[in-house]
Amino acid sequence: MERHRDITTSAASDPLTVGHLISLLPGALVPHDPTDPGTAVLDAVHISELADPTTYLHGGELLLTTGLSLPLTGAGCGAYVRRLVGARVAALGLGLGPVHTRVPGVLERACERHGLPLLVVPAEVPFQSVTRSFWASVGAQQERSLHATIGFHQRLVTAAASPDAAPAVLAVLAEAVGGWATLIDPTGRPLVTRPPARAADASALSEDVRRLRPAGPRSAATFPVGQQVASLHPVVGNGEALAYLGTVSPVPMSRQLRGLLLSSLALLGSDAAHRKEAVRAERALTAGVAQLVRAGHVQAAGDLADALGVPPPPPRVRLLLAAASTGDVALERLAAALEPAGAAWWGLVTGKVATVLMHAAHDWADDEHRHAALAPHTQQCALGVGPLVRLRDVSAIHDALVDWCAALPRPGVHVWRPGVTPLVSPAWADEVIGALTDEGPELVSLVADYLRHRGRWEAVATASGLHRNSVRARIARAEQVLGASLADPDTAARLWLALRATGLDSAPSVRPGRGH
């Protein structure tokens, strides 16, 4: 396994290589093969005249020798070079003059055969000048790395103070590691990635987050991703893992970069904890509004929302429910399902069941989209999809829906249906048709055509004078307004009776012309 090195390409310049040292000492360190500048990374310069110096080597050295103990047989010289290669020596430098006036042929052939770069130090050049140049270069490089790391720390502080701290911190960290960085929620969903072009790659870390999560908020992981190195660290706030920070870089992190990573984790943890507390505070405010709606005090709920500075619930809402081990867990599941859509909602908890009043304007287009959004959040939780109702009717139906949801099997997504289809009252007919009319009178006539022709798209298109695609789009909009599918026989039958009750079942179709 390759050792972690303190010199890295990310926070300063490239690592010091054999070729770089040769360029620093023109004429003093000469490649025996001019076509091979030496790309191996140098960690040290070591001088030894031992026949087997490997006991004193750790790898990555330029080994300097006068060849005093060098075997001059093919077998002996080959064994010597093999030992150096096995010890991961970066290059061999032969000092001419005291023992050898030129490179022995057996050494030249052995180095060529085993792939060990061979350098020549002319007789007038002391080994000390090579070692002095190496360590001076290392010192300058470490100083540049230190200055670069300090600069990144300063930029991190500035990023953390910005209005949108997480993306700004990730951008600085991604640049520092020379790769990319991502923030992933505990369920494995990427939240933000920098640079944004790597967002698709961030999804590949989701399974690793889910495997790491049970190990607790103090566990991290480092693992290969192709030819690169990935790391995952929990972003901890108030003792819990609020998210996971992932980085992918070309090389393992240096000591300086690991310090930068720890600073990033502290800043992201503070930001995440602050945001979570803000979300909890807002949920507490909206919970008071939802409790008033549940009690039937709709006007008071609107007044309280205005006084608290939170959005008031609209006249029509969709009820979503969740049952879990506790009501707080159930509410977190619903929140996670609604978060990607950015929809406004008002939640309350009753025992082990949480209820969310969801803005009808943010409802899902159809059952398939709704199931796809909710299903990933049903771990040990039952999610119930209630009806789309008038706000003033929530109090009459809420407790029955809570009892229904509490009895649902877990996990799963379930849709509420009343046991008996109620008769169509004039008030209900006015309400449901009014909701369609608010979208435009032509939508009412199109729905009537759709029901009259039993959902046959060609017949509806002919009757309405619309293209089939336009018919499908508008019917989908009508279903969203109604909160139910017109393919459902109960919904279709009740809506047809509502059209008859209001005298709109035979309303003439609006014919705007083909293709509209």
Q: Look up the CATH number of the domain holding residue 448.
A: 1.10.10.2840
pLDDT tens track for 23-60? 888 888 888 876 566 677 888 889 999 999 999 998 88
Are 106 and 127 within one domain? yes
Verify that 85 and 174 share a domain, yes or no.
no
11: helix, strand or coil:
coil
Higher pLDDT, 1 or 270: 270
Domain of 354, CATH number, reads 3.30.70
Query: Could you tell me how far CA 348 lies from the centroid of its own chain?
Result: 29
Say which residues have a Cβ less than 8 Å from residue 210's Cβ, sequence separation at least 6.
Answer: 187, 188
- Residues 34, 125 share a domain: yes
CATH number, position 248: 3.30.450.40
- For residues 118-136, average pLDDT: 87
Question: 415, 444, 466 — which closes off a domain?
Answer: 415
**6 inside domain:** no
What is the per-residue pLDDT across 176-217, written as a single tens digit (0 to 9) for each?
888 999 999 887 888 899 999 998 888 889 888 888 888 888
Q: Is 97 inside a domain boundary?
A: yes
Q: At 99, give phi and psi (nearest 5°).
A: -115, -50
Tally of domains in the chain: 4
329 with 377, same domain?
A: yes
> What does the pLDDT read at residue 475?
86
At residue 357, φ and ψ (nearest 5 deg) are -95, 115
Residue 14's pLDDT band, with cuts at 50, 70 and 90, is: low
pLDDT tens-digit map of 360-412: 767 676 677 778 888 888 888 889 988 888 888 898 889 889 999 998 888 88
Is the Cβ–Cβ distance between 202 and 193 less than 8 Å?
Answer: yes
Distance CA 71, CA 83 (A): 13
pLDDT in tens, 86-124: 999 999 999 998 899 999 999 999 999 998 999 999 998
Where does the pLDDT of residue 1 fall: very low under 50, low under 70, confident under 90, or very high at 90 and above?
very low
So what's the pLDDT on residue 511? 47
Q: Which residue, 252, 276, 300, sits at the end of a domain?
A: 276
> Residue 426: its pLDDT value, please?
67
Q: Answer whether residue 12 shows pLDDT above 50.
A: no
- Determine, yes or no, domain membership for 197: yes
Q: Are residues 91 and 116 in the same domain?
A: yes
Beta bridge partners of 228: 225
With vertex at residue 515, the alpha carbon angle to CA 512 and CA 516, rounded to the nearest 5 degrees, is 45
Assess whether pLDDT exceeds 90 at residue 175: no
**Tokens representing residue 297 in the block:** 């005090």
Q: Tell me, yes or no, whether 261 and 168 share the same domain.
A: yes
- Taking a C-beta distance cutoff of 8 angstroms, is the pair 270, 235 a contact? no
Q: Which of 450, 432, 438 has the alpha carbon at shortest distance from 498?
A: 432
Q: What CATH number does the domain containing 130 carry?
A: 3.40.1390.20
d(CA 437, CA 430): 10
- Residue 408 falls within a domain, yes or no? yes
Confidence of residue 428 (pLDDT cuts 50, 70, 90): low
What is the average pLDDT value for the chain, to the nearest integer? 82
CB 489 within 8 A of CB 443: no
Is the dihedral angle over the CA atoms 26, 27, 29, 31 positive or is it negative? positive
- Which candidate, 134, 156, 144, 178, places its Cα nearest to that of 16? 134
Q: Is residue 10 very low, low, confident or very high in pLDDT (cuts 50, 70, 90)?
A: very low
Tokens of 338: 């609604």
Q: Domain range spanning residue 455? A: 426-501
Percentage of residues in the chain having pLDDT higher than 90 = 23
**34 and 82 inside one domain:** yes
**440 and 408 in one domain?**
no
pLDDT for position 9 = 36
446 in any annotated domain:
yes
Same domain as 434, residue 384: no
Q: Which of 7-21, 65-79, 269-283, 358-372 has the lowest mean pLDDT?
A: 7-21
Q: How much is the pTM? A: 0.47
Q: Which amino acid is it at 126? A: P
- 41: helix, coil or strand? strand
Amino acid identity of 47?
I
* pLDDT at residue 8, as a whole number: 33
Q: Are residues 77 and 132 in the same domain?
A: yes
Query: Which residue, 272, 251, 256, 198, is CA-closest to 41?
Result: 251
Flag whether pLDDT at 515 surpasses 60.
no
Q: What is the pLDDT of residue 140?
A: 66
Looking at the fold, whether 59 and 114 belong to one and the same domain comes out as yes
397 CB-near residues (< 8 Å, 6+ apart): 319, 386, 387, 389
Q: Across 365-515, where does the E strand assignment appear?
A: 382-390, 412-415
Listed residues 221, 251, 276: the one ending a domain: 276
Looking at the domain assignment, is residue 511 inside a domain?
Answer: no
pLDDT of residue 142: 64
Same domain, 202 and 170: yes
Q: Is residue 456 part of a domain?
A: yes
Q: In sequence order, what are the beta bridge partners of 192?
A: 183
Cα 307 to Cα 283, 290, 301, 311, 312: the distances in Å are 15, 14, 10, 10, 10
- Summarize the confidence of residues 320-329 as an average pLDDT: 89
Q: Is residue 478 part of a domain?
A: yes
Radius of gyration of the chain (CA): 36
